[in-house]
């Protein structure tokens, strides 16, 4: 296993595209019921803030839902989609910037059996089925709206140094599901670990 050393606040106080790339290989840790669950991040998406039409803070939007996006780097922004699944984001930049990184997929490092139970999988998961996709990732770690706004520097949900990846192992592509964002839909702000079977489909090329 790679390093469990906590990432420091300055890591997250950078532009979200830089953070998104550098989060690949890091460990997302969830302490749950006395057990530790660990995912190695293999896919992320950057959302640049008020100037990014795909971001929830596009145009400076400020609602209760997006309040956490303005708290400054190192916080969690958790939102629900279709009233069914949650998505976990890492807030980036300085306080008030409104930018974040969506955590799209991870590989199980520790606690895979418990993650399988949380995902209600009756059989061994196929590639990408455990935490391949933002909704699955949140289910595998029991992340919901109650964790919105928490610090990711320490505590029950946190990010650690993990196993950073070299540039040659990173592939980029357009973000998924943001067709409404016009030209911003094609920005290459999706980052993935080359060759990982846990990366959600369609995989960036």
Q: What is the mean pLDDT of each run of 10 residues along the chain (205 residues)?
A: 93 98 98 97 98 98 96 97 91 98 98 97 93 97 98 97 97 96 98 96 82
pLDDT of residue 205: 75
Rounded to whole angstroms, what are the CA distances from 105 to 136, 193, 203?
A: 8, 10, 11
Estimate to the nearest angstrom the gap between the alpha carbon of 106 and the chain centroid.
9
pLDDT of residue 43: 98
C-alpha torsion sign, points 187, 81, 129, 29? positive
Fold of the domain built from segment(s) 3-193: 3-methyladenine DNA Glycosylase; Chain A (3.10.300)
CA distance 205 to 194: 9
- Residue 179 tokens read as 């067709």
pLDDT of residue 174: 97
Question: How many C-beta atoms surround the C-beta of residue 194 within 10 A?
Answer: 15
pLDDT of residue 11: 98
Contacts with 142 (C-beta within 8 Å, 6 or more apart), sequence order: 30, 32, 118
pLDDT of residue 151: 98
pLDDT of residue 4: 94
pTM comes to: 0.97
Query: Is there a contact between 132 and 119 (Cβ–Cβ < 8 Å)?
Result: no
Cα angle value 49/50/51 (rounded, 5°) = 95
**DSSP one-letter code for 52:** -
User: What are the DSSP calls for 46-79, one per residue?
Assistant: EE--TT-TTSTTGGG---STTGGGGS-TTBEEEE
pLDDT of residue 83: 75
């Amino acid at each position: 296993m790679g390093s469990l050393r906590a990432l420091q606040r300055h890591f997250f106080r950078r532009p979200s595209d830089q953070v998104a790339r550098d989060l690949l290989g890091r460990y997302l840790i969830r302490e749950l019921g006395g057990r530790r669950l660990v995912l190695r991040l293999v896919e992320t998406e950057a959302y640049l803030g008020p100037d990014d039409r795909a971001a929830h803070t596009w145009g400076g939007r400020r609602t209760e839902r997006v309040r956490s996006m303005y708290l400054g780097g190192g916080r969690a922004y958790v939102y629900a989609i279709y009233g069914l699944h949650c998505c976990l984001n890492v807030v980036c930049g300085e306080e008030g910037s409104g930018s974040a990184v969506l955590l799209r997929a991870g590989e199980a490092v520790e606690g895979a059996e418990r993650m399988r139970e949380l995902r209600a999988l009756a059989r061994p998961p196929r590639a990408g089925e455990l935490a391949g996709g933002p909704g699955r990732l949140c289910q595998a770690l029991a992340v919901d709206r109650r964790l919105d706004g928490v610090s990711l520097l320490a505590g029950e949900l946190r990010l650690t140094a993990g196993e950073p990846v070299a540039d040659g192992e990173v592939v980029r592509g357009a973000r998924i599901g943001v067709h409404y964002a016009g030209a911003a839909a094609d920005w290459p702000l999706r980052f993935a670990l080359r060759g990982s079977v846990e990366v959600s489909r369609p995989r960036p090329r």
